[in-house]
Amino acid sequence: MTTHAKRGPEFPVLALRSEFPALRPVGRFIYFDNAAGAQIPQRVLDAVNTHLLEHNVQRGGRYAQSVAVDDMIARARVRVAAFLNAWSPEEIGFGMNATSFIRTISLAVGQTLQGREEIVVTDLDHEANIATWCALQSVGARIRWWSARTDGRLHLEDLDQLLSAKTRLVACTLASNALGSIVDVSGVSRLAHSVGAEVFVDAVHYGPHGPIDVRALGCDYLVCSGYKIFAPHMGFLWGRYSALAALPTFREEFIPDVPPGKVEAGTFIYENVAGMAAAVDYLADLGRRLAGAEAVSAHDAIRENCVTAMVAIQAYEQTLSFALLQMLERLGADVYGTADPAQVGARVPTVCFNLPSVEPAEVVKAAAAGGIGIRDGHMYAPRLMRRLGLDVDSGAVRVSLVHYNTLEEIERFAALLREICTA
């Protein structure tokens, strides 16, 4: 996909920044470590505080505060279901993080391998979506590796060669948390389903960058982390209802063997779920404002407004990717994955790179001293680092942007990198 990105002046980045308290303080700190967790808008803080102040009780009781918790969780399921375009709120499970949900599903899948022992994993993924599946080798699973090519992308024709009647599941990411590469999940689903296999998608990194439509993706399971999507630390799982209903998951005796309860082991953090619902409302409100529409709380309106917001975010972020890649190209940096500024539609604005003859840690230390937060290391993708020929311990420098970052911040970062290169 070729995209000639131009700056979109209609995107209200400065107004949106004012909604994020962490971005308001006087000072010039630049936060470019969003892949590790994004900042949160005021309305999300308000939702968390309201829950803790007014409804900090266990759900399932008959008194008003407990009923309010049940109501909040129900509203949150509706909002997250709309955000993902799920068929039903009952397909949404809440929990501690994406990794715990990957493990929950992998343990269940491990009990259903009879005649289908092969699981396809990729070397592009976060380790959480690799090690959990590799652990099933102890119960007879055979791991097949779908490897990224030198362009830092997964190609469907390579996957096609790995699939057979023995394939139980394909696990892949929607966007690489290290390289930013976007994966054609709808194509993955088409191929996997043609041999009777299921598809598990890690959408954690893609979550803040574009619209997610589980119906269009055609996958069977998908996980996200709220703290990457402008919410507090929590995770959520979507699963096709029939698929979740069929899995043999762990549950306590009093929990019915139906979704979503059967995938929600123990008590999750209610206030953070309230925050996740508010994050969806933030995105829906952004979409409504961009479209000039009236405020409506109906499911279809939430979905439509979220899509409007995420499409606008995606377009604006492409201008950031374009500027960042151009700048790194001028500096002679080694960019891993899609490096061509004209190909920003194939990635999200997460870039791993190294400067010639400068250790990644030194770049990150210099950036920190200059008031810029970035990251170095293996990015929880050690297999990918080895594939790229990089030392796992030192890895690469990662810059990860979201929709509240600006071109002016990239210009400041460019000035700092120029100083490092000429030192």
Among 400, 419, 422, 421, smallest CA distance to 409 is for: 400
pLDDT of amino acid 300: 76
Among 315, 342, 320, smallest CA distance to 410 is for: 320
Q: Rounded to the nearest 5°, which phi and psi values hold at 269?
A: -90, 100
- Could you tell me which residues are beta bridge partners of residue 105? none
pLDDT of amino acid 376: 98
Edge-first strand order for the sheet with 350-354 is 334-336, 350-354, 396-400, 375-377
- Could you tell me which residues are beta bridge partners of residue 395? 377
Q: Rounded to the nearest 5°, which phi and psi values hold at 354?
A: -135, 145
How many whole angstroms separate alpha carbon 404 and alpha carbon 400?
12
pLDDT in tens, the chain (423 residues): 344 444 444 899 999 999 999 998 767 899 999 999 999 999 999 999 999 999 999 999 999 999 999 999 999 999 999 999 999 999 999 999 999 999 999 999 999 999 999 999 999 999 999 999 999 999 999 999 999 998 999 999 999 999 999 999 999 999 999 999 999 999 999 999 999 999 999 999 999 999 999 999 999 999 999 999 999 999 999 999 999 999 999 988 888 999 999 999 889 999 999 999 999 999 999 999 999 877 666 667 999 999 999 999 999 999 999 999 999 999 999 999 999 999 999 999 999 999 999 999 999 999 999 999 999 999 999 999 999 999 999 999 999 999 999 999 999 999 999 999 987
Q: Spell out the residues 6+ positions from residue 240 whose beta carbon is closer than 8 angstroms to its own.
A: 91, 220, 221
pTM above 0.75, yes or no: yes
Q: Do strands 198-202 and 221-225 pair parallel, antiparallel, or not at all (unpaired)?
A: parallel
Structural domains present in the chain? 13-39+314-422 (3.90.1150.10), 46-280 (3.40.640.10)
How many whole angstroms separate alpha carbon 420 and alpha carbon 358?
8
How many whole angstroms separate alpha carbon 397 and alpha carbon 354?
6
